[in-house]
């Protein structure tokens, strides 16, 4: 059965106004919910009413918050206090960063859950960015063969992309996200207030994914970003783009939950991005890597005669404006063989062939005559693209 994802904007005044319980938002059990609301976590009453709606099938025996060391300092105690009146609430913190996305870290979290006597009726609360969401979702999918979980994304990248769609997993020595599951969260609770404490590097991370959404599905998003004069701080433009990005991903995942075809367009730029990250020991930020990946894959699409020239030039001009030069100058792309090997470990590849999802114009991805969004790319063209990257970064 196809997954149904619903984007629901919750008005906190409705939750706190004392309206009858029948007016509390109700959702079907087979729906993964996305709720976007400023100051969503401003009071325990609001949180309790929302959770009562989300957990209508079965009251939780307990909550365990999984977060990282930085987010724990900023928000750990506050979120714990909001959940504690509903059920016993514990917290597990992992070291910040991509290097925590490992089987070893996963095993440690599983052990801690066991020691806490966390059971099948408990709910995990994943408070953090993409690493916490990916790793915590993987834990949720395998602990006692699956427990409920809620995503509470605190970074721009997680709010517009990684928290939605149920992809979970860990990195392996041979590549990024090589072991994992597709396991949908009960809900994704997005509060833009978390972004008030976001460092500049994490704003750029999120912008990388926003540019992707503009290219693959919505030219208006792309045009809104083109109009921005700078990309190093939060703005109303960025906040306003969260919801349209979420809607695009919800629509695509609803249509193709297990990435048989159209969901692969969400990976535009990611074949190269993941190779950059894996070959650089995960030092580059994901969003920066995606921007560089789109530079590379956009050029490949142009060489294949897929990407319209004017739109290719628009894409390249915007990405080069956004990319921080100090970071790209330090990026090493010289180990071509190592880089290509990581690219060939990408999940989209079929039968040893390098496959990419590529744009034909801003706002639309290319579809073959057979209806596939995956296009075979010669290895030689990828190597040429890497050489070109070195010349323009």
145 included as an active-site residue: yes
263 included as an active-site residue: yes
| DSSP string covering 101-139 | -SHHHHHHHHHHHHHTT--TT-EEEEEESHHHHHHHHHH
Give the whole-angstrom CA distance, residue 95 versus residue 212. 28
From 33, 267, 297, 347, active-site residue: 267
267 included as an active-site residue: yes
255 included as an active-site residue: no
From 270, 302, 314, 374, active-site residue: 270
From 263, 314, 347, 374, active-site residue: 263
> Which pair of tokens denotes residue 6?
């619903």
From 49, 148, 274, 302, active-site residue: 274
Quick one: how far is CA 259 from the chain centroid?
Answer: 15
297 included as an active-site residue: no
308 included as an active-site residue: no
Quick one: how far is CA 125 from the chain centroid?
Answer: 16
Give the whole-angstrom CA distance, residue 322 versus residue 206. 12
From 101, 247, 249, 374, active-site residue: 249
325 included as an active-site residue: no
| DSSP string covering 16-65 | HTT--GGGS----TTEEEEEE-TTTTS-HHHHHHHHHHHT-SS--SEEEE
327 included as an active-site residue: no
Counting Cβ atoms within 10 Å, is residue 97 exposed (0-12), middle (13-18) or buried (19+)? middle
From 70, 247, 286, 347, active-site residue: 286
Instruction: Please report the sign of the dihedral spanned by the C-alpha atoms of residue 123, residue 128, residue 130, residue 135.
Output: negative
286 included as an active-site residue: yes
Q: Quick one: the chain helix, strand, coil %, rounded to 5?
A: 50, 15, 35
232 included as an active-site residue: no
Helices 236-255 and 219-226: crossing angle, nearest 10°?
Answer: 160
From 13, 115, 145, 370, active-site residue: 145
Catalytic residues: 145, 167, 209, 249, 259, 263, 267, 270, 274, 286
């Amino acid at each position: 059965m196809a997954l149904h994802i619903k984007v629901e904007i919750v008005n906190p005044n409705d939750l706190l106004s004392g309206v009858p319980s029948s007016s509390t938002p109700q959702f079907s059990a087979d729906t993964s919910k996305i709720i976007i609301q400023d100051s969503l976590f401003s009071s325990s009453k609001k949180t309790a009413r929302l959770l009562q709606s989300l957990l209508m099938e079965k009251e939780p025996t307990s909550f365990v918050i999984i977060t990282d060391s930085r987010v724990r300092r900023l928000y750990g105690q506050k979120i714990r206090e909001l959940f504690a009146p509903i059920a016993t609430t514990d917290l597990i913190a992992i070291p910040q960063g991509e290097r925590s996305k490992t089987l070893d870290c996963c095993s440690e979290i599983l052990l801690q859950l066991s020691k806490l006597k966390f059971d099948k009726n408990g709910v995990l609360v994943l408070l953090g960015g993409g690493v916490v969401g990916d790793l915590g979702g993987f834990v949720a999918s395998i602990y006692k063969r699956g427990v409920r979980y809620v995503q509470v994304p605190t970074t721009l990248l997680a709010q517009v992309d990684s928290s939605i769609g149920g992809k979970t997993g860990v990195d392996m020595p041979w590549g990024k996200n090589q072991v994992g599951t597709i396991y949908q969260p009960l809900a994704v609770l997005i509060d833009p207030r978390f972004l008030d404490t976001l460092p500049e590097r994490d704003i750029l991370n999120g912008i990388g994914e926003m540019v992707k959404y503009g290219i693959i599905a919505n030219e208006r998003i792309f045009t809104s970003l083109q109009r921005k004069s700078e990309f190093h701080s939060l703005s109303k433009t960025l906040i306003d783009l969260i919801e349209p990005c979420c809607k695009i991903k919800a629509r695509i995942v609803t249509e193709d939950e297990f990435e048989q075809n159209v969901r692969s367009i969400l990976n535009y730029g990611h074949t190269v991005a993941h190779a950059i990250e894996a070959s650089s020991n995960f030092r580059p930020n994901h969003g920066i890597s995606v921007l560089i990946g789109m530079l590379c894959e956009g050029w490949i699409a142009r060489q294949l005669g897929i990407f319209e020239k004017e739109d290719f030039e628009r894409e390249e001009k915007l990405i080069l404006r956004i990319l921080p030069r100090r970071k790209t100058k330090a990026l090493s792309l010289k180990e071509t063989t190592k880089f290509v090997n990581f690219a060939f470990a990408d999940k989209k590849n079929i039968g040893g062939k390098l496959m990419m999802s590529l744009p034909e114009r801003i706002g639309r991805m290319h579809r073959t005559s057979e209806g596939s969004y995956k296009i075979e790319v010669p290895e030689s063209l990828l190597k040429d693209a890497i050489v070109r990257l070195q010349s323009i970064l």
